[in-house]
Structure 1
Amino acid sequence: MKDKQILILLLICIFTFNAILYPRVSSAQNPLEQPNILIGNDRWMPEFQAGEETSLDIPLENTSSTPARNAKISLVVDDLNKFPFNTDKMSFVTHVYSISRGSSMASFKVSIPPNVKPGLYPITVNVDYLTAGSASNHVSSTIYVKIVNPLKQPVLKCTEIKYEGEKLPAGQITPVNFKLINDGDLPLKEIELLLSGFTENGLSLDKGSNAQFIPKMAANETRLASFNIYVDQSTKSGSYTLDLAMKYKDAYDQEYTKESKVFIPVAGKDSLEGITPRIIIEAYDYGGGHVLAGEVFPLTLTFYNTSQESVVRNIKVSLNSDTQVFSPVGNSNTIYLSDLDAQGRINKTIMLKPKEKAESQTYNISAEIDFQDSKGNKYTEKELISIPVNQTVRLFVPEISIPAEVGLQKPVTLPIDYYNAGRAIIHNLVIHTEGNFEIRDGEQFIGNLDVGKNDYCDITVIPQEEGALAGKVIFEYEDDIGTPYRVVKSINLHVVNLEDAPPFDLLDQMPEQEGFDRKKGIIPGIITLVMLTVGLFVYRKRKLAKKEVDFENE
Structure 2
Amino acid sequence: VRPDAARGGVPITIKVEPVDGLDGTVISQAISLFVDADESGGAEPGKSVPKLIIQSYSSDPTLVNAGENFNLTMRFLNTHSVREIRNIKGSFSVTAGSNESGNVFTPVGSSNTFYIEKISPRNTAEWNVTLYTIPDAKSKTYTVTISFEYEDDLGNSYTSSEIIGIPVYQPSRFEVSEISLPSDTYIGNPIYTGFEMYNLGKTEIYNVKLRVEGDFEAQPKSSYFGNFESGRVEYFELNLIPIMPGLGTGRIIFEYEDASGDIHEVVKEFSMNVMEMDFPVDFPIDDPGMKPGFEDQPQKSFFKSVWFYVIIGAVVVAVVVVIIIVVSRKRKKNKEFDF
Q: TM range, normalised to the smaller chain?
A: 0.5 to 0.7
Q: For this pair of structures, how many residues does the alignment match?
A: 234
Aligned pair partner of 1:278 in 37, 51, 66 = 51
Say if 1:273 and 1:307, in contact at 8 Å, map to a contact too.
Answer: no
Relative contact order, CA 8 A, sep 6+: which one is greater? 2
Trace 1:6-155 onto structure 2 (pairs within 5 A).
none
Is 2:216 the counterpart of 1:443?
Answer: no
Kindly provide the CA deviation profile for residues 317-338 of structure 1, in whole angstroms up to 9, marking residues without a partner as x: 1112114211113443233322
Kindly provide the CA deviation profile for residues 39-91 of structure 1, in whole angstroms up to 9, marking residues without a partner as x: xxxxxxxxxxxxxxxxxxxxxxxxxxxxxxxxxxxxxxxxxxxxxxxxxxxxx
Q: 1:442 to 1:329 in 2, by over 3 A?
A: farther
Aligned-partner Cα distance in 2 for 1:273–1:399: 71
Is 2:181 the counterpart of 1:402?
Answer: yes
Q: Give the root-mean-square deviation of aligned CA atoms.
A: 2.7
Structure 2, gaps ≥5 residues long: 1-43, 98-102, 281-291, 294-339
Aligned-partner Cα distance in 1 for 2:262–2:218: 29
Structure 1, gaps ≥5 residues long: 1-269, 505-554
Is 2:99 the counterpart of 1:326?
Answer: no
Partner secondary structure for residue 343 of structure 1 = coil
Aligned pair partner of 1:340 in 110, 119, 127 = 119
Aligned pair partner of 1:297 in 70, 82, 104 = 70
Is 2:272 the counterpart of 1:482?
Answer: no
Partner secondary structure for residue 382 of structure 1 = strand
Is 2:245 the counterpart of 1:472?
Answer: no
Say if 2:215 and 2:244, in contact at 8 Å, map to a contact too.
Answer: no
Aligned-partner Cα distance in 2 for 1:401–1:381: 64
Say if 2:61 and 2:70, in contact at 8 Å, map to a contact too.
Answer: no
Q: 1:345 to 1:495 in 2, by over 3 A?
A: same
Is 2:84 the counterpart of 1:311?
Answer: yes
- Post-superposition offset of 1:380: 2.3
Partner secondary structure for residue 286 of structure 1 = strand
Say if 2:183 and 2:271, in contact at 8 Å, map to a contact too.
Answer: no
- Post-superposition offset of 1:287: 5.2
Q: Give 1:424's aligned amino acid.
A: T
Aligned pair partner of 2:143 in 364, 373, 386 = 364
Aligned pair partner of 1:426 in 191, 205, 214 = 205
- Post-superposition offset of 1:273: 4.4
Is 2:124 the counterpart of 1:351?
Answer: no
Q: 1:331 to 1:500 in 2, by over 3 A?
A: farther
Kindly provide the CA deviation profile for residues 413-454 of structure 1, in whole angstroms up to 9, marking residues without a partner as x: 221211111111110112121112333322222111111111
Q: What TM-score, normalized to structure 2?
A: 0.62
Is 2:231 the counterpart of 1:457?
Answer: no
Aligned-partner Cα distance in 2 for 1:394–1:285: 28
Aligned-partner Cα distance in 2 for 1:348–1:441: 58
Partner secondary structure for residue 315 of structure 1 = strand
Larger Rg: 2
Aligned pair partner of 1:383 in 162, 172, 176 = 162
Q: Give 1:438's aligned amino acid.
A: E
Aligned-partner Cα distance in 2 for 1:332–1:349: 12
- Post-superposition offset of 1:499: 4.0
Partner secondary structure for residue 303 of structure 1 = strand
Q: What TM-score, normalized to structure 1?
A: 0.39
- Post-superposition offset of 1:347: 3.4
